[in-house]
Structure 1
Amino acid sequence: DSSKSDKDEKEVICYECNKHGHIRPDCPKLKKKKDKKKATIATWSDSDDSSSDDDENEEIANIAFMTMEDDNEVYSSSLSYNDLQNEYNELIDVLDDLNREYQLLKK
């Protein structure tokens, strides 16, 4: 009897991930998606509790949207090799400063 049910389980194919041994409602991939949706729903419901913060939340959302939109822009510049080298050196200096500051804060 148990060998028959094991054989039946191996023949079952999940329509979500196309793997053998489980059906769609038991799919671990689908369960992960559901967990993510629940977290998102909880976040939205938490923000709905305070009506006085609606304008602030909308402003934050707009700022985030603007930031995402800016990331998609492509900048082209024709800097010379020396200009690029100078920019690189300035970035290294900033990195060194941040590293020193990090080491001090770490203590």
Structure 2
Amino acid sequence: DSTKSDKEEKEVICYECNKPGNIRPDCPKLNKNKDKKKAMIATWSDNGDSSSDEDKNEEIANIAFMAMEDDNEVCSTSLSYSDLQNEYNELIDVLDDLNKEYQLLKK
């Protein structure tokens, strides 16, 4: 009798389908739904969607939207290699200072 109760205690019940004998990653119910996962989609559009596009978008549960910026703003600054190297060296100096400060605070 004790071996039977030990076996019943060790039997695993799946959280997904509530059936004994399998665990959640191996659940047949979960494996069926695995292929139906929905994806995040980023859209970029200058004008409104047509009705056929709206129908397609209604099927997608998760949509990520991105902000559009004006194309009129142009950056005309061009940096030479030496300018970039100087900026990089300044950043390294700041990093060194922050690391020293961190080490002092850590003590």
Q: Which has the higher contact order (CA 8 A, sep 6+)?
A: 2
TM-score of the two chains, using structure 1 as the length reference: 0.33
Question: More helix per residue: 1 or 2?
Answer: 1
- Identify the structure with the greater strand proportion: 2
Q: Which has the larger radius of gyration?
A: 2
